[in-house]
Amino acid sequence: MTDPVTSPTTDDREVLIQVRGLLSQFGERTIHENLDLDVRRGEVLGVVGGSGTGKTVLLNSIIGLKEPEGGSIRIFDHDISDMTKEQAADIERRTGVLFQQGALYSSLSVLDNVASPLVEHTKMPRDMIRELAEMKIAMVGLKPESHHLKPAELSGGMKKRVGLARALALDPELLFLDEPTAGLDPIGAAAFDDLIRTLSDDLGLTVFMITHDLDSLYAICDQVAVLADKHVVEKATVQELERSDHPWIKEYFLGPRGRAANKAA
């Protein structure tokens, strides 16, 4: 089995996220126990696991929305349990998040949604904020006609793109995506995969992406972390995982859907 922490052993890129011995609980229920994970700069990491294995709880723990019951999490080399307000704000600025449901402000236009992190975190003049927001909207492939639309007037794919534009508003180094292609048709999902890969290549982004979408793993992920048995059982390339002996991984990659995704890749 591949060691989730040290694989690949020759990789000396900076570790942007380091999780050690994570313990996550809700009341009596333990979701994570002894979970270790490293995410290195420039990596596009897919996070997979059965439903309810704690992928979103892991994301929320890393970005500080859920306090761990034990273990440590370092992000940009800061221990998240021991940060000043300034350090926390700095990390927030360097991090973009696309939540599963997009989490757009329903009363704000597309332009104002994308501008909102710039308004909150910078002192830039209004004109400059507008210009930057327009740039991000173009970057995710949306036309200027979308600027004044409200979220209720957008398709699922457009909402995801607006959420992504907002996540990119502050030029983050690290991007978290929670099931970005869920709910998209296969063509929309493939287009979104391409967009994420292009952005990560062009901007040198490090990506932490929760997904159930095997096509996305094959299309864009350098590494895949598998959550099972309350921890990361393997972190490796998809090609390495195809040879894993772990029963869930075997079923996932070598079952009918896995074989189809492999063929298509």
Ligand X SMILES: Nc1ncnc2c1ncn2[C@@H]1O[C@H](COP(=O)(O)OP(=O)(O)OP(=O)(O)O)[C@@H](O)[C@H]1O
Q: Which residues bind ligand X (CB under 6 A)?
A: 26, 31, 49, 51-57
Q: At its nearest, how many Å lie between ligand X and the CB of residue 26?
A: 4
For ligand X, give the closer residue by CB, 31 or 62: 31
> Could you please report the per-residue DSSP string of 32-67?
EEEEEEEEETT-EEEEEESTTSSHHHHHHHHTTSS-
For ligand X, give the closer residue by CB, 52 or 156: 52
For ligand X, give the closer residue by CB, 65 or 128: 65
Q: At its nearest, how many Å lie between ligand X and the CB of residue 53?
A: 4
CB 62 within 8 A of CB 73: yes
**What tokens does 128 get?**
């400059």
CA distance 261 to 265: 6
CB 96 within 8 A of CB 169: yes
- Residue 93, classified by CB atoms within 10 Å of its CB into exposed (0-12), middle (13-18) or buried (19+), is middle
For ligand X, give the closer residue by CB, 130 or 257: 257
- Residue 212, classified by CB atoms within 10 Å of its CB into exposed (0-12), middle (13-18) or buried (19+), is middle
| Beta-bridge partner residues of 228 | 231
| Cα-based angle 210, 22, 56 (whole degrees, multiple of 5) | 25
For ligand X, give the closer residue by CB, 55 or 166: 55
Q: At its nearest, how many Å lie between ligand X and the CB of residue 227?
A: 7
Q: At its nearest, how many Å lie between ligand X and the CB of residue 144?
A: 34
Q: At its nearest, how many Å lie between ligand X and the CB of residue 133?
A: 30
